[in-house]
Structure 1
Amino acid sequence: MKTLVTGSTGFLGSAILRELLDDGREVKLLVRKDADTANIDGLDVEIAYGDLRDPESLQSALNGCNILYHAAAYYSLWDRDPQ
Structure 2
Amino acid sequence: MRAVITGATGFLGGNLAIELLDRGMRVRCTRRKGSRTDHLASLPIEWVEATLSEPDRLEAAFRGADVVFHCAARVSLLRRPTAPIVAAN
TM-score between the two structures when normalised by the length of structure 2: 0.80
Give the unaligned 5+ runs of structure 1: none
Higher relative contact order (CA 8 A, sep 6+): 1
1:78 alignment counterpart: 77
The AA in structure 1 aligned to 2:7 is G
> Whole-Å Cα distance in 1 between the matches of residues 26 and 18 of structure 2?
11
Query: What percentage of aligned pairs have identical amino acids?
Result: 35
Moved over 2 A (4+): none
Per-residue deviation, 1:38: 2.2
1:64 alignment counterpart: 64
1:36 alignment counterpart: 36
Distance 1:73 1:2, change over 3 A: same
Give the unaligned 5+ runs of structure 2: 80-89
TM-score between the two structures when normalised by the length of structure 1: 0.86
